[in-house]
Amino acid sequence: MKTLEEIVAQHRAEWAARSLAQQQLEIANNEAVAKLYGLEDEVPSYVPLERVSLTNNSAFRWPNKSPEERDILFTQSAILDLLSYAVGCMFGRYSLDEPGLILASQGETLKDYLARVPNPSFMPDRDNVIPVTSGDWFDDNIEARFRQFLRIAFGKSNAHENLQFIEETLGKSIKQYFLKDFYADHVKRYKNRPIYWMFSSRPDGKGSFNALVYLHRYTPATLNALLNEYLREFQEKLRGTITSLDGSTDAAAKKRSDVLRPVLTECEDYERDVLYPLVLRNPQIDLDDGVLVNYLRFGRAVLRIRAIEDKRSDVEQWTWPVNPLRPEDA
């Protein structure tokens, strides 16, 4: 099996050839029209490669860059596309085994996925909650799921080399990318209307507890899973670790314990003041209301997106949504 670096290079070469072929078609078309109207000597038929508006035409996307810079940018873009696709596979939006969208309607479940893909090579997340935490607190955290995806999609033999290529392209570890950059990239990709929502113990994005939820698979049961199987489980693990560290005479253990205590306090505050009251409210969503209305309904439970939050006062005046936004949703 080819390495990911080889696959990206082939992908880049194919798009370069496709862009040149399209350029020749556009030139030929211009020449034919000019000849038809007898304007061969008056109207230029040549089309610069920078004006061939194919999505992955590097010259069109980055017209002011050198060929070498375009290759680097193309590779970076391809890797970001792959990471976005991988998360889509984790949620069941996409599948390695079937083309196109799989789960993309409101409230669809793993059962719906298996009806479409009976024997998936990569199984989506069972409960629609993927934790994004700095430590290895959960077996199904996003980094672990991505490593699994990489092995299945591109082969176990190249897994280390492929991950190294990804991290070199990103300029950081895959852990740091998912912790610091993935959600910002996702929000940008979906033009401030994200389909994966980041529940976070701090709305500024610096929370110690973070977990992604796929909008199209959301049900009230999702919040229960988030609270009981993840946030409370995380707190129990923190308490156990702190107790163990406190029993040690090692200075490093005490320092680690001092680091974890405010993390535990932050999570306890998030449960008491934000997530548990939200679970009791049992918020309903309707995809027809759109991301703007639905996202705002979760208030401080999700990471704050300024472009969405700035519209809250306007959205509260709207009466057309199936589930109108209310002041208590802030």
Query: Which residues, 6+ apart, have CB-to-CB distance to 165 below 8 Å?
Result: 3, 4, 5
Compute the distance between CA of residue 309 and CA of residue 324 in angstroms, rounded to an integer.
Answer: 15
Mean pLDDT of 34-47: 90
DSSP labels, 128-172: SEEE--SSS--TT-HHHHHHHHHHHHH-STTHHHHHHHHHHHHTS
Compute the distance between CA of residue 150 and CA of residue 85 in angstroms, rounded to an integer.
Answer: 11
pLDDT, position 1: 84
Q: Which residues of 38-50 are buried (b: 16+ CB within 10 A; e: fewer)?
A: eeeeeeebebeee
Question: Range with the lowest mean pLDDT among 107-116, 244-253, 277-286, 292-301?
Answer: 244-253
> Can you name the residues that pair with 198 across neighbouring β-strands?
212
Longest CA–CA span in the chain (Å) reads 92
**pLDDT at 205 > cutoff 90:** no
Mean pLDDT of 68-95: 98
Compute the distance between CA of residue 234 and CA of residue 267 in angstroms, rounded to an integer.
Answer: 8
Do 30 and 45 contact (CB within 8 A), yes or no?
yes
Burial class for 314, CB neighbours closer than 10 Å (0-12, 13-18, 19+): exposed
123: confidence class by pLDDT, cuts 50, 70, 90: very high
**pLDDT at 220 > cutoff 90:** no
What is residue 7's three-state secondary structure?
Answer: helix
pLDDT, position 31: 94
pTM: 0.94
